[in-house]
Every structure is written in C-alpha cells, then in structure tokens.
C-alpha cells in the first residue's frame, strides 16, 4: 500500500490536481474573506451606511441585508466548492488511482 502513495505522489497528474484544487480553494477563500473584511471595515469606518433605513418608515437598515448577503455568499461559495469537488476533483482523483492500480499489475 505504501508504494501506491509514493507512485501517486510521483504522478504529475496528482500535482496538477493539487494545483487546481489549491488555486480554487484560495480564490473562494479570498472572496469570502474580502466580503467579511469589507463588511467589518464599513462598520468600523462608515457605520452611517449600514445605519440608513432600507426605505422610509422602516426600522430595517442596510446593515441587515448586507450581513445576510455575507452569510449567504459563504454558503453559496461552499456549495460551489462542493459541486466542483464532487465532479471534477473526484473524477481526477479516481483517474489517478486507477492509473496507479493499472500500472501496478
């Protein structure tokens, strides 16, 4: 079994998979972090933007929809990652394992 791990690690397709998955993960993480930090920076330096009512006569301010947007964006991007992981990344992983198993015989 140990020799399979070495052979998988030596496979260039494995390193391509790691690169693709890593770039995609960091891209999504960057988007989430940027949205959270932007939200916090607006609260810290321009709170009047989020304190403005959504429409006249309501107590709901723009802070509530902005906060809900940040949370929903996180859920959405998690779903995007899971979808890509379950399709493209799992397919590539399966191909790499099959290639190693077939060359082992």
> In this predicted model, what pLDDT tens digit does every residue of 61-104 receive, in sequence order?
999 999 999 999 999 999 999 999 999 999 999 999 998 888 86
> What is the value of pTM for the model shown?
0.83
Long-range contacts of 39-44 (CB under 8 A, 24+ apart): 39/66, 39/67, 39/70, 42/66
Which residues have CB under 8 Å from 71's CB, separation 6+? Answer: none
> In this predicted model, what pLDDT tens digit does every residue of 2-34 receive, in sequence order?
788 888 899 899 999 999 999 999 999 999 999
What is the three-class DSSP state of 54? coil
For 61, which DSSP code? B
- Report the pLDDT value the prediction gives residue 27, as an integer from 0 to 100: 98
> In this predicted model, what pLDDT tens digit does every residue of 39-59 receive, in sequence order?
999 999 999 999 999 999 999
Residue 1 has pLDDT above 80, yes or no: no
- Report the pLDDT value the prediction gives residue 42, as an integer from 0 to 100: 97
């Amino acid at each position: 079994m140990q020799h399979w791990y070495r052979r998988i690690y030596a496979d260039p397709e494995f390193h391509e998979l790691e690169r693709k998955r890593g770039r995609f993960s960091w891209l999504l993480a960057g988007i989430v972090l940027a949205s959270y930090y932007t939200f916090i920076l607006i609260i810290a330096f321009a709170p009047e933007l989020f304190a403005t009512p959504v429409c006249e006569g309501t107590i709901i301010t723009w802070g509530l929809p902005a906060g809900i947007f940040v949370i929903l964006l996180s859920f959405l991007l998690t779903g995007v990652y899971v979808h890509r992981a379950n399709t493209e990344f799992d397919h590539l992983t399966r191909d790499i394992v099959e290639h190693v198993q077939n060359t082992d015989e």
